[in-house]
Chain A
Amino acid sequence: MEAWRWLSKPAQPYRWPFVGRVIVKAGVLFVILNVLFALADPLPLLGRVSLYNGLFPGRERLPYGENPAQSYNLSLDNLEAMFASHEVAAAPGADEFRVLLLGDSATWGFLLEPENTLAGRLNAAGLTSPDGRSVRFFNLGYPIMALTKDLVLLDYGLRYQPDLIVWLVTLESFPREKQLYPPLLQDNPDAVRGLIERFSLGLDVQDSRFVEPDFWGRTIVGQRRALFDLLRLQLYAVPWAVTGIDQFYPESYELRRSDFDADVSWQDYAGPVELTVDELAFDVLEAGFALAGETPLLLVNEPMFVSTGRNSDLRYNFFYPRWAYDAYRDLLNAEAAAQGWPFVDLWDALPAEEFTDSPVHYTPEGAQMLADLLAPEITRLAEGWGNAG
Chain B
Amino acid sequence: MTLTHLVAALIVAALYIWLLPARWRGWALMAVSIVAVYWLSPALTIRYLDFALPTATVVLAAAIWWFTLPPHSTPTREDRAALGVLAVLILGLAATRYLTPELRPTPSRAPEVPAVALALAIAGAVIGLVGYRLRGRGRFLTVAIALIVGLFAVLKTEPLAIAAAGGLRALSGQQVDLARPGDLSWLGFSYVAFRLIHLLRDRQTGRLPVLSLREALTYVTFFPALTAGPIDRAERFVKDLRAVPTLTGPDAARIVEAAGRILIGILKKFVIADNLVLLALGPANAEQFTSAGGGWLLLYGYGLRLFLDFSGYTDIAIGLGLLFGLRLPENFDRPYTRQNITAFWQSWHISLSNWVRFYVFSPFSRALLNREPRPSPQFVVFAAQMVTMLIIGLWHGVTWAFVAWGAWHGLGLFAHKWWSDRTRRWYLSLKDRPRLKAAWTVAGWALTLQFVMLGWVWFALPQVDQAARVFLKLFGIGW
CB distance from A199 to the nearest CB of B (A): 40
Would you give the 0/1 interface string for B249-278, flagging 1 where the beta carbon is closer than 8 Å to chain A? 010110111001100000000000001111
Q: Is A15 an interface residue (CB 8 A)?
A: yes
Residues in chain B near residue A232, CB distance under 8 A? 275
Interface string of B296-336 (1 = CB under 8 A from A): 01100100000000000000000000000000001001100
CB distance from B18 to the nearest CB of A (A): 13
Picked from A2, A7, A18, A242, the residue with its CB within 8 Å of the CB of B290 is A242
- Which listed residue, B295, B297, B330, touches A1 by the CB 8 Å rule? B330
Q: How far is the CA of A243 from the CA of B301 in the complex (A)?
A: 14
Name the residue of chain A whose CB is nearest to the CB of B327: A8
| Complex contact B333–A3 (CB within 8 A) | yes
Say yes or no: is B376 at the interface (Cβ < 8 Å to chain A). Answer: no
CB–CB A243/B285 < 8 A: yes
Chain B residues touching A, majority SS: helix
Q: Is B252's CB under 8 angstroms from A69's CB?
A: no
**B-contacting residues, A230-257, CB 8 Å:** 231-232, 235-236, 238-239, 241-245
| Nearest B-chain residue to A13, judged by Cβ | B253
Residues of A within 8 A of B275 (CB): 231-232, 235
Q: Quick one: CB contact mask for A292-310 with B, threshold 8 Å, 1 for yes?
A: 0000000000000000000
CB-based contact A238/B334 at 8 Å:
no
Rounded to whole Å, the gap between the CB of A233 and the closest CB of chain B is 12
Q: Are the CB atoms of A72 and B278 closer together than 8 Å?
A: yes
Cβ 8 A contact of A19, one of B256, B288, B330: B256
Q: Which residues of B contact A69 (CB under 8 A)?
A: 277-278
Number of A-B contacts (CB under 8 A): 65
For residue B43, CB closer than 8 A to chain A, the reply is: no
- Assess whether A215 is interfacial by the CB under 8 Å rule: no
* Interface pair B294/A7, CB less than 8 Å apart: no
B464 proximal to A (CB < 8 A): no
Q: How far is the CB of B247 from chain A (nearest CB, A)?
A: 15
B279 at interface by CB-CB < 8 Å: yes
Closest residue of chain B to A17 (Cβ to Cβ) is B252
Would you mind naming 7 contact pairs between A and B with Cβ atoms under 8 Å apart? A4-B261, A7-B257, A7-B261, A14-B252, A68-B278, A70-B284, A242-B294
In the complex, given contacts A16-B252, A19-B255, what are 18 additional A-B residue pairs having Cβ atoms less than 8 angstroms apart?
A1-B330, A4-B261, A4-B330, A14-B253, A14-B256, A69-B277, A235-B275, A235-B276, A238-B279, A238-B297, A238-B301, A239-B278, A241-B297, A242-B294, A242-B295, A242-B297, A243-B285, A245-B288
Partner-A contacts on B (CB < 8 A): 250, 252-253, 255-257, 260-261, 275-279, 284-285, 288-291, 294-295, 297-298, 301, 330, 333-334
4 cross-chain pairs, A with B, having the tightest CB-CB distances, nearest first: A242-B294, A243-B288, A14-B256, A238-B279
